[in-house]
Amino acid sequence: MSNASTDRYYLPQPSTWPITGSIALGLLGFGAAFSVNRLAAGYVLLALGFAVLIYMMFGWFGTVVRESVAGKYNDRVDVSFRWGMSWFIFSEVMFFGAFFGALYYMRVLSVPWLGEVDQKLIWPDFAPGWPIAGPGISEKFTPMGAFGIPALNTLLLLSSGVTITLAHWALKKGNRGALIGWMFATVALGITFLGFQAYEYGHAYSDLNLKLTSGAYGATFYMLTGFHGFHVTIGTIMLIVILARCIAGHFTPEHHFAFEGVSWYWHFVDVVWLFLFIFVYWL
Amino acid sequence: MSTAVHDHPHGHDDHAHHPSGLARYLTTTNHKDIGTMYLWFSFAMFLTGGVMALVIRAELFQPGLQVVNPDFFNQMTTLHGLIMVFGAIMPAFVGFANWQIPMMIGAPDMAFPRLNNWSFWLLPPAALLLVTSLFVPGGAAAAGWTLYPPLTVQMGMGMDLAIFAVHILGMSSILGSINIITTLLNMRAPGMTLMKMPLFCWTWLITAYLLLAAMPVLAGAVTMILTDRHFGTHFFNPAGGGDPVLFQHIFWFFGHPEVYIIAIPAFGVISQVIPAFSRKPLFGYTSMVYATASIAILSFIVWAHHMYTTGMPVQAQLFFMYATSLIAVPTGVKVFNWVATMWKGSLSFETPMLFAIGFLFLFTIGGFTGLVLAIVPIDIQLHDTYYVVAHFHYVMVAGALFAAFAGVYFWIPKWTGRMYDETLGKWHFWLSFIFFNMAFFVQHFLGLAGMPRRIPDYALQFADFNMVSSIGAFGFGLAQLLFLYVVVKCIRSGEQAPAKAWEGADTLEWTHLPSPAPYHSFETPPMVK
């Protein structure tokens, strides 16, 4: 390495951001537990927790951005970031795995079992199938069709995967105009996806009578698409930050891991969506 | 090599001024400070969970209800399990990882020092959530540490506090694992190939993968409990097409790897201690690595052996029985290798070695009873009896905890620069060993005779063994105060320890660093041949 100051693996000074984050998580934990039990104090703690968390994220990420721009991270730190982000995404995959597992288990095992002869005493008229709410839920609902908005959303997310790759190519060629343009397009596609998703939820609740309480189908539908939508929201916020950093000129054609990390994350939510589209909406 | 740091002896500007007192520990980015905090936190949780165990054993001292009411008894069994697993044993080994991994691979620190601080400081809020839950209306979660619905769907606010505690603990483990994997893959000294890493590092690399794959699944499981409780989903309610057994599948998909998350770092410690006191290299290093990896992979396809009695199809029972029995093969390889390491070695029996040999005997017993429980027709008889309690305490206490004690006695000269009192250390071992067996060996008989677990009262014919077990448990608990005394005495007034405190120890922290290890070690990585 030519520059002596970056020869050393960067070890940060003592920092107050982690403990700030712990205070935030503590507040959120108590706040959430009290809120779900309808205690007024819970909502206050929850709001406070989110405020501290957002403050911490601004502070901590801001510090990392400043250190990166100041050239404190050498290639080896860059490799650390790559490993770190990859394994973080792997843990996210496993989180979705739990909910997909629940979906398959209900669809393939527990719902058919409820129609077997030893359940006839409790629910004599139950005919298993899918999509279904379950034997104890009499309220009817209409399942969500795959080839309306969900298909359009698939198209949007797949296109955003293309635009972010085009932005990456532009970044590597040093073409700032194209980089910012394609990043802007990616953000726009992400926000459009979220808008459609919100509209679809409204439609499901008001027109299809499909709710979180609609048994097996409702629970898996909303939990899977809901957690995915939450991840797309986070991804979109990350993209907006990266767009701002592109405009600020933080990235060089050689050194831009933040951009790549976010694009990995974006591809991850994209792939999860494909599974959702196939197993939740379509089949 | 880009980590080849220029030689600025302690002039490292990033570290020149670190705060002192409490602020030092709140803000530290140093792996040694963080490792120390992990270890002390773990010990505090060990005493907390231990007191809960003693409440359980006091109630079970005699038949009938004398000390606590049944609901509080259930809260104790639940919190004892959660606190010991997530608060005591896991953080203890993360503490070892923090202290040892950078020193053993010749790295200046962990890969993400600030994240490392956060991983630790997420634990106290989670512990606070768990302990506070005792004082909310309805009391703490009382469904057992496995949190099975429908009980968990019916409980009061204490359950919600436990759910969010588990979420935060999971975050801590995931962030810690990412840090450990990255450190091991990216920060090794030049020349230290993966297959030259000390075995303790290997076991943590594998454990970190287990954590990354298992903890998010637990987060998913408790999230489903939460939405079933408060948001009207029906994951675990047959009326809505769900199934309480679904929770057990998801939980044990996490829960069985969790067993190895606890055991594998213990294997790592033992694999450092036994060669050091046998004055021989570890027998079959390569096979140890592969055996550990095999155990880790197999741990993901055996989960339903915890659920033989739930009405699974026979084909599933057979599959899980065979897969579980298969784990005995790599585990046998490990036990064989440890014994072969000692074979014709120049053995000495200082306290770390005593705990390691104690581990070897008792963990093997726990492994064998595990094999017994893997067999479907036997397990259907023994399921939810004290035989199961005896089995997993042989693995968790005489396995993981004894290995942790071995590790503390082994490395404390390096950490503090001082030697512990050998006589008192040996007393600690023998008291622990004898009282442990007194507390738990008899529980095998109770289980075989049909005494159910997690019940505060029992039939009269179980009285004698329960009394023996309770006396053993209190003795074991008191013996741990001796451990605290030995450690404090060592830190305060132990004899000066040499750099290489053990003749047979040959990893980098002994051969390249003074005792105590300096605050910043290996800013210049050593060359490993």
Given 2.30.30.100, 1.20.120.80, 2.40.430.10, 1.10.10.10, which CATH number is that of A74-282? Answer: 1.20.120.80
Confidence of residue A7 (pLDDT cuts 50, 70, 90): confident
Report ipTM for this prediction: 0.95
Q: What is the pLDDT of residues B362-416, one digit of tens each?
A: 999 999 999 999 999 999 999 999 999 999 999 999 999 999 999 999 999 999 9
Least CB–CB distance from A79: residue in B26, B124, B186: B186
Inter-residue contact A131 to A107 (CB < 8 Å): no
User: Quick check: A109 and B243 CB within 8 A?
Assistant: yes
Name the closest residue on chain A to residue B28, using Cα atoms. Answer: A14
Q: Residue B27: which of A15, A114, A222 has the nearest Cβ?
A: A15
When scoring A87, A223, A225 by the number of chain B Cβ atoms within 10 A, the one with the most, hence best to mutate, is A87
Instruction: Evaluate whether B388 touches B370 at the Cβ level (below 8 Å).
Output: no
**Cβ-defined contact of B241 to A106 (cutoff 8 Å):** yes
Instruction: State residue A6's pLDDT score.
Output: 55
Tell me what pLDDT residue B17 has. Answer: 62
How is chain A split into domains, by residue range? 1-72, 74-282
Q: What span, in angstroms and rounded, lies between the C-alpha atoms of B182 and B180?
A: 5
Domain A1-72 grouped into CATH 1.10.287.70: yes
Cβ neighbours for B497, distance < 8 A, ≥ 6 positions apart: B413, B414, B416, B417, B418, B419, B515
Confidence at residue B7, expressed as pLDDT on a 0 to 100 scale: 36
Tokens 């726990």, located at residue: B366
pLDDT digits (tens, 9 = 90+) for A225-272: 999 999 999 999 999 999 999 999 999 999 999 999 999 999 999 999
Please answer whether residues B119 and A88 qualify as being in contact, where contact means their C-beta atoms are separated by less than 8 angstroms: no
Whether B238 sits inside 8 A of A135 (CB atoms) is: yes
pLDDT given for residue A8 in this prediction:
82
Q: Chain A to chain B, count of Cβ pairs less than 8 Å apart?
A: 250
Segment A64-67 long-range contacts (CB within 8 Å, at least 24 positions apart): A65/A245, A65/A250, A65/A258, A67/A10, A67/A12
Among partner residues B6, B122, B167, which is closest to A7 by beta-carbon distance? B6
Which segments within A55-204 are labelled E, that is strand?
A: none
Is residue A136 classed as helix, strand or coil in its secondary structure? coil
Task: State how far residue B102 is from chain A, nearest Cα, in angstroms.
Answer: 13
Contact A105 B177 (CB under 8 A): no
Q: Do A11 and B164 touch (CB under 8 A)?
A: no
Model confidence at B5: pLDDT above 90: no
Residues of B with a catalytic annotation lie at 80, 109, 145, 172-173, 256, 258, 260, 271, 305-306, 331, 334, 453
Say whether B253 and A101 touch across the interface (CB within 8 A): yes
pLDDT tens-digit profile of B88-106?
999 999 999 999 999 999 9
Fold topology of B28-511: Cytochrome C Oxidase; Chain A (1.20.210)
Q: Write down the pLDDT at residue B301.
A: 96
Contact B134, B140 (CB under 8 A): yes
**Model pLDDT, residue B14:** 45
Q: Are B35 and B91 in contact (CB under 8 A)?
A: no
Determine the distance in angstroms separating the CA of B307 from the nearest CA of chain A, rounded to an integer: 15
Q: Which residues of B touch A205 (CB under 8 A)?
A: none
Confidence class for position A49, pLDDT limits 50, 70, 90: very high
Average model confidence (pLDDT) for chain A? 94
The most distant pair of C-alpha atoms in chain A lies apart, rounded to whole Å, by 79
Percent of chain A with pLDDT over 90: 93
Q: What is the pTM of this model?
A: 0.95
Mean pLDDT of chain B: 95
Nearest residue on chain A to B524, alpha-carbon basis? A8
Q: What percent of chain B has pLDDT over 70?
A: 97
